[in-house]
Amino acid sequence: MTDPDPFRVVFVCTGNICRSPMAEVVFRDLAERAGVADRVRSTSAGTGDWHVGERADQRTLAALERRGYDGSAHRAKQFTVTAFHENDLVIALDRTHERILRHWAHREEHRDRISLLTSYDPAAAAPDVPDPYYADDRAFDDALAMIESASRALFRQLEPAIRPPRSAH
C-alpha cells in the first residue's frame, strides 16, 4: 500500500513576500512538529506578479527569525488558475485576496477550496491579516502573531484527516 498524496495548502496574499510566506512557513512548522510533514505540503503565492522570484521581504524574514522560523528558502511566485487543481485548500490572508480568488475560480469545486485564514480562529480580532508592507517591524510581528494563531486553529481542524490511521496491534 502506498502513502496517499499529501494534503496541499496554498496561502495567498498580494505579492507573496510578507503574509503568505509567513503562513507557509508557520503551517509547515506545525506539520513538522506534529510528525506529519510527509502528509502535508504548504506553499504560498501572490495575486500579483511584482515580486516573482524574489526572497521574502527582509522584515518578514526578521519577524520569522525572531519567532524561531526559517523563511530563507522562500521565493515569491504568482498564484495561477492551475493552483486550484494542485491544492486541496486555498487560504486567503484577507478578504480582497478571497474576492480575487473567487473571481478566478471558474468551477464550484475550486470555489469550495477557498477560505479566509482568520475564519479558522475564533479568537481572531479581525477578518483580515493586515498587510505590514508599509508599516514598521511591529506590524510584521503582529501579522505573524495573527497568522500563528489562525494557522494553529486551521491545523487542529485538519490534523485528524492528515494524521495516519493507527495500526492495530
pLDDT digits (tens, 9 = 90+) for 100-121: 999 999 999 999 999 999 999 9
Active-site residue (options: 8, 55, 111, 131): 131
Name the helix (H) or strand (E) containing 32. Answer: helix 19-33
Q: Which three cell numbers stand for residue 146?
A: 495573527
Structure confidence at residue 160 (pLDDT): 85
Active-site residue (options: 13, 18, 59, 121): 13
Q: What percentage of the chain exceeds 90 in pLDDT?
A: 90
pLDDT, averaged across the chain: 93
Residue among 169, 16, 3, 153 at smallest CA distance from 83:
16
Q: Cell numbers 502513502 label which residue?
A: 3
With cut-offs at 50, 70 and 90, classify the pLDDT of residue 165: low
Structure confidence at residue 12 (pLDDT): 98
Q: Which amino acid is at 89?
A: L
Active-site residue (options: 19, 28, 59, 113): 19
Sequence-distant (6+) residues with CB within 8 A of 128 are 93, 94, 95, 96, 116, 118
CA distance 29 to 34: 9
Quick one: 94 exposed, middle or buried, by C-beta within 10 A (0-12, 13-18, 19+)? buried
Q: Using only C-alpha atoms, what is the Rg of the chain?
A: 15
CA distance 64 to 144: 8
* Catalytic residue check, 138: no
Triad 142, 117, 83: Cα angle to 5°: 120
Q: Which three cell numbers stand for residue 144?
A: 505573524
* Catalytic residue check, 19: yes
With cut-offs at 50, 70 and 90, classify the pLDDT of residue 168: very low
Sheet order of strands, 40-46 included: 40-46, 7-13, 89-92, 114-116
Sequence-distant (6+) residues with CB within 8 A of 50 are 15
Residue 169 has pLDDT above 60, yes or no: no
pLDDT per position as a tens digit, 24-75: 999 999 999 999 999 999 999 999 999 999 999 999 999 999 999 999 999 9
With cut-offs at 50, 70 and 90, classify the pLDDT of residue 76: very high
CATH topology of domain 7-162: Rossmann fold (3.40.50)
* Catalytic residue check, 131: yes
